[in-house]
Structure 1
Amino acid sequence: MHALVVTAVAAEADSVAAGLSPGSAPAPHPDGPVTPPRTLPGGYLLSRHDVPGLALDVLVGGVGPAAAAAATATALAVAASGDRPYRLVVSAGIGGGFRPAAPPGTLVVADAIVAADLGAETPDGFLTVEQLGFGRALHLPPAELAARAAEATGALLAPVLTVSTVTGSAARAAELAARHPSARAEAMEGFGVAEAAAAYGLPVLEVRAVSNAVGPRDRAAWRIGDALAALTAGFHRLVPVLHGWGERHE
């Protein structure tokens, strides 16, 4: 199966790539992709990683839902014009976790990808873009794939929120938790990746490693290294799941 993994920044892409190394344990520092990175239109960097029964392309797509959607759509268009179209798209990286369920180092696999701030503020509260009648604010990954991915990686299976502005206050964190009580992580790219995948009729998965708590920004409490390590370990365990799912859905 040929799958596309979309990250925001190079550090996330490197951590995913490290998890794709062969052997019983992920390599702490990847030696680099099997082939040199390819530069797509728009300057996006794409690296190819072939593991038994699975070809994964890892894309550095930029920060935020708009950048992620543009980068993902570019990669999908390039692949569709060739002879190796993608069968699955994965949004991957680090993000914030909702306390107390998702402390730093936790891995979260999305059972729902939610555009949490796409809509309108009203005197009666927030209305989603769906409630306004202008589009959609939710994408659902394949339930079987998400469940197997969470089980294999030891991740929480829960909604992941996509926001354009990272939450930086207790009030905002409380508001999001009240509107999405089952959510366990917040990030900035998942919904954009999912929108592009949907435009090509492709299933999508989101995997997030928690680096900090959703709420007041406390840089001293951030655990970015732990989150990147969790992302590496998670992808090492995820490869067989993706392989098996691809065999059943080719």
Structure 2
Amino acid sequence: MSRIIVTASTRLELSELLAATSASALPDAGHVPLYRTEMRGTEILFALTGIGKVNAASAVTLLCERYAPDLIINTGCGGAFAGAGLAVGDLAVADSEYLADEGVRTPDGWRGLDLIGIPVYEGRGERLFNRIPLDREMARRALDCATVGGFDTVLGPFLTVSTCSGTTRQGEELLRRFPGVCENMEGAAVAQVALMYGVPCLEVRGISNMVEDRDLSRWDLKRAVGQVQRFLALYLAQVADNRPGMR
């Protein structure tokens, strides 16, 4: 039986999927709250990792070791960068992830991990510093599925940060470091661990806010997580039928 693991940092980001799939809690999943369902012969596990890179990496490592997934899908909300063509309530699909905080603050400004010369990942002929690749063909198929389903969706690089950008100025600084359409707090960690275990990884997020001077009156978290979960219900059914990109 094929196995998919869907991860998010909070229950709100998975609550509609848990209800829609009638997933039930697994009692002995360690420190990661985990829920299980089955769809057309495919087992689907939903995992609540907690916020941030450390929680995400710890949870996904445990899940890969214990459950050997065929596909990991990381989801939740995100902030859209200016010029990305995204609005609140839209979806963003990652074709790559950047560790946007890891680096060196020099007298000449911020520099990435390549300045130190120590990669975060080395294997399969690759030395990776800040950029973590995702399966672009899988991302493209997800984009096509979302478009056909009527979701306004953009494909592009995501930036993972430890400190959310609460100012327009900070967002502009991040874009000077790396290209990006969406900011989040877990994606690069999930992608890196998945890469280490050789598991295909897809990341799709609902846009809850723009990366600008922080103004919660302009946010819509409920709409963002609702839209992305409705899309994932559609996508998971497609994967269960066709198993695209799975081993």
> Common fold, TM-score beyond 0.5?
yes
Aligned-partner Cα distance in 2 for 1:50–1:126: 46
Counterpart of 2:125? none
Helix, strand or coil at the partner of 1:235: helix
The answer on whether the counterparts of 1:39 and 1:45 sit within 8 Å (CA) in structure 2 is no
Counterpart of 1:25? none
1:15 aligns with 2:21: no
Select 1:172's aligned residue among 170, 173, 177.
Answer: 170
Counterpart of 1:212? 209
TM-score normalized with structure 1 length: 0.85
The answer on whether the counterparts of 1:116 and 1:161 sit within 8 Å (CA) in structure 2 is yes
Instruction: Give the drift of 1:45.
Output: 0.5
The answer on whether the counterparts of 1:145 and 1:245 sit within 8 Å (CA) in structure 2 is no
Aligned residues: 231
Identity of aligned residues (%): 29
Select 1:61's aligned residue among 36, 44, 49.
Answer: 49
Gap runs ≥5 in structure 1: 22-31, 80-84
Helix, strand or coil at the partner of 2:50: coil
1:75 aligns with 2:63: yes
CA RMSD of aligned residues (A): 1.8
Aligned-partner Cα distance in 1 for 2:35–2:246: 24
The answer on whether the counterparts of 2:39 and 2:237 sit within 8 Å (CA) in structure 1 is no
Q: Which amino acid aligns with 2:45?
A: D
Aligned-partner Cα distance in 2 for 1:94–1:150: 17
Helix, strand or coil at the partner of 2:14: helix
Aligned-partner Cα distance in 1 for 2:246–2:132: 19
| CA gap 1:151/1:131 in 2 versus in 1, 3 angstroms | farther
Q: Which amino acid aligns with 2:204?
A: V
Helix, strand or coil at the partner of 2:35: strand
Instruction: Give the drift of 1:240.
Output: 4.1
Gap runs ≥5 in structure 2: 120-128, 148-152
TM-score normalized with structure 2 length: 0.86
Q: Deviations over 1:168-196 (max 9, x none)?
A: 11111111123334x11100001111222
Select 1:87's aligned residue among 59, 70, 81.
Answer: 70
Aligned-partner Cα distance in 1 for 2:60–2:203: 13
Q: Which amino acid aligns with 1:242?
A: V
Instruction: Give the drift of 1:114.
Output: 1.0
Q: Deviations over 1:31-71 (max 9, x none)?
A: x41x3343422x21010121114221110001001110001
Instruction: Give the drift of 1:93.
Output: 0.5
